[in-house]
């Protein structure tokens, strides 16, 4: 397994519904925590990669603004946007910058301040993440897209609304333990099942919440990582893939082909198999997305993800603990910050620093981050 690039620092702001400051202040909260975690100064950062989806705030070029505010001039900075998969795409770019030898240490900063626009405006922007000629003009927004995935999975594999509600119950159990999460209330099974319908069969508690938040992941090459960090966490496998933007161009809707392809790449690069993973963070923008991820990542066979749900195998102590920080369903989903937050959780797990959410003895962790409705996928495998 290659051990050439490591995470030496992670940080995250609290994810909240209405952050009172600016985007530069929001980014600073995550950056400061990551820099303290890495115990380095700003002059050690060779470059920064800023990750954010456009049109949620008025700033046209956020990377320059944030680099200036964080004291990172004159080091180069770049902006990356792959909607919800932006910050894991940023990590992939940072990995490449380090492996190429251009930079020794790179900071990946993801942020989104979604509260600057209304919920309706946010949904419209998310809808335009799909094809603006053939899909989004007809009102296909995120809940409707994932509702189609849910219906397809129900009809092909016999999964049910109850299975999805059980995923939300798990999310709330761990979200209550996460002081960075936007939603920390308990959701009981009957409450989830009886909630209002958003887009049938998805109900209120099947859907994640918009949030404001920032994340930061600091990567270093092998020499600097060993020198600077007592507990470097290594990037062992990286996979990335895409799928047709239009759903009519896809072979099936009961899973995400791009996630399966990215997972295969990551496992091959890491020299690992699904059964080697001790803890996973998957992109649960909707409960059905988590269920599909179990199967796309090989934790269960096609249609067998419900067995993990029904047998409690995705809790701590189960076969494969998943989203034990509450996932997007509890943490919230500030688009550009989400993937970095997932990586932070896995890093803390592998360092044994996850507190009440700790999976005992975790050695290998996986991050699965999806952009749009299965348009982009990044899978990252990390090891201690």
Cα 27 versus chain centre, distance:
17
Closest CA to 95 of 263, 214, 11, 218: 218
Distance (Å, whole) CA 79 – CA 17: 24
Residue 212 near residue 188, CB atoms below 8 Å = no
Residue 308 near residue 282, CB atoms below 8 Å = no
Strands (E), the chain: 5-12, 47-51, 77-80, 105-113, 197-199, 202-203, 212-221, 233-242, 279-281, 364-371, 376-383
- How many residues are listed for the chain in this entry? 384
Residue 213 near residue 26, CB atoms below 8 Å = yes
- Name residues whose C-beta falls within 8 Å of residue 358's C-beta, 6 or more positions apart in sequence: 316, 349, 352
- Name residues whose C-beta falls within 8 Å of residue 184's C-beta, 6 or more positions apart in sequence: 175, 176, 178, 326, 330
**110: which strand partners?**
51, 215
Distance (Å, whole) CA 77 – CA 67: 7
283 an active-site residue?
A: no
103 an active-site residue?
A: no
Coil, helix or strand for 383?
strand
Closest CA to 298 of 310, 316, 282: 282
Question: Catalytic residue among 103, 149, 283, 333, which?
Answer: 333
Question: Catalytic residue among 51, 84, 207, 285, which?
Answer: 84
DSSP 313-377: TTSTTSSS-B-TT-HHHHH---GGGHHHHHHHHHHHHHTT--GGG--TT--EEEEEEEETTTTEE
User: How far is the CA of 184 from the CAs of 203, 204, 246, 264, 322, in angstroms?
Assistant: 18, 15, 35, 34, 17
Active site (catalytic) residues: 84, 333
């Amino acid at each position: 397994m290659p051990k050439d690039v490591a995470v030496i620092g992670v940080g995250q702001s609290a994810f909240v519904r209405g952050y009172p400051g600016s985007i530069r202040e929001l980014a600073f909260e995550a950056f400061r925590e990551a820099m303290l975690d890495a115990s380095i100064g700003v002059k050690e950062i060779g470059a920064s990669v800023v990750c954010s989806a456009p049109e949620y705030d008025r700033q046209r070029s956020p990377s320059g603004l944030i680099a200036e505010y964080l004291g990172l001039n004159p080091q180069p900075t770049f902006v990356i946007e792959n909607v919800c998969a932006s910050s894991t795409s940023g990590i992939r770019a940072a990995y490449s910058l380090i492996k190429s030898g251009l930079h020794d240490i790179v900071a990946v900063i993801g942020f989104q301040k979604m509260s600057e626009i209304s919920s309706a405006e946010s949904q419209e922007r998310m809808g335009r993440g799909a094809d603006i000629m053939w899909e989004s003009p007809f009102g296909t927004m995120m809940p409707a897209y994932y509702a189609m995935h849910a219906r397809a999975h129900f009809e092909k594999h016999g999964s049910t609304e109850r299975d999805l509600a059980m995923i939300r119950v798990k999310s709330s159990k761990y979200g209550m333990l996460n002081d960075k999460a936007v939603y920390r209330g308990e959701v009981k099974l009957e409450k989830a099942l009886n909630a209002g319908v958003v887009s049938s069969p998805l109900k209120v508690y099947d859907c994640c919440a918009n949030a404001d938040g920032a994340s930061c992941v600091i990567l270093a090459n092998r020499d600097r990582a060993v020198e600077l960090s007592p507990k470097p966490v290594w990037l062992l496998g990286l996979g990335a893939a895409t799928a047709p933007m239009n759903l009519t161009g896809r072979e099936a809707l009961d899973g995400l082909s791009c996630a399966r392809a990215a997972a295969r790449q990551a496992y091959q690069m890491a020299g690992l198999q699904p059964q080697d993973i001790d803890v996973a963070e998957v992109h649960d923008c909707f409960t059905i997305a988590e269920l599909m991820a179990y199967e796309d990542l090989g934790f269960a066979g096609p249609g067998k993800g419900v067995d993990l749900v029904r047998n409690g195998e995705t809790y701590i102590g189960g076969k494969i603990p998943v989203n034990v920080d509450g996932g997007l369903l509890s943490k919230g989903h500030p688009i550009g910050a989400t993937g970095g937050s997932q990586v932070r959780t896995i890093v803390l797990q592998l360092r044994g620093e996850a507190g009440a959410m700790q999976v005992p003895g975790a050695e290998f962790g996986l991050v699965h981050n999806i952009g749009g409705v299965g348009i982009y996928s990044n899978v990252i495998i990390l090891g201690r």
